[in-house]
Homo-oligomer: A and B are copies of this chain.
Amino acid sequence: MEHDAPRQNLAISAYRELKHDIIRGRYAPEEKLLMSRLKERYGVSTGPLREALSQLVADRLVVAISQRGYRVAPMSLAELNDIYDARAQLEGLILRLAIERGDDDWEASVLATAHRLAKVTDISSPDELLDGWDLRHKAFHTAIASGCNSPHLLQMRNTLFDQVERYRHLWLQETVMSPQALDIKRQEHAALVDVILARDTDQAANLMRDHLITPVPIITRVLTARGIN
């Protein structure tokens, strides 16, 4: 019995590529997504493409105008603020529940992923550093959230994360990962781990909220510099 990667259909791979390109800013907000161009670019025909685009509409990364095709979803300061606020609120709720419901295995996984994140200095090239750090950072936060033990709340968290990621990417691009910045983050995470293990719900929710909101001023600057309101 083999367990190779299940062969995906073209709609799914087109969806992944398109999503990646939109999040990375390859297409500008409000840019029209011509069927003909996309067909050429991703090497698929209208069927799978249409399927991918309608998924991206559900993700709110693309908007559809009936009979007039698709556009990249607009970006705005209002949406930036709302997304980050909603995320901070939801993540706070999930953290409260996790502290209430999390068991020993949960505590262990929080500690383990925190440790892995703290030890991310050794890698050589800047690109590898950033990729590696981001990966472990996500793993750390996911480990914390998973303590809430609710698949549906975690699913909502993922959906919101997809929506935030286009804005978050602007922050990652802007923030060159200096050793100092890395150290500050490490301290924030350590403090978070402390209050979580101490089961101090209110303090934990506050710290988490502050930690998540941090990038907003920087992203605001980038957006206004690009003439986006």
A60 closest partner in B (C-beta): B155
A59 closest partner in B (C-beta): B58
Task: Report A32-85 residues with CB < 8 Å from chain B CB.
Answer: 46-47, 50-51, 54-55, 58-60, 66-67, 79, 82-83, 85
Interface size, A (range): 35 or more
Q: What's the Cα separation between A170 and B187 when bound, in Å? A: 50
Number of copies: 2
The answer to whether the Cβ of A229 comes within 8 Å of any Cβ in the partner chain is no
The answer to whether the Cβ of A3 comes within 8 Å of any Cβ in the partner chain is no
Of the 9-residue stretches A8-16, A120-128, A129-137, which lies at the interface with chain B?
A8-16
Q: Which residues of A contact B (CB under 8 A)?
A: 6-9, 11-12, 46-47, 50-51, 54-55, 58-60, 66-67, 79, 82-83, 85-86, 89-90, 93, 97, 150-153, 155-156, 159-160, 163
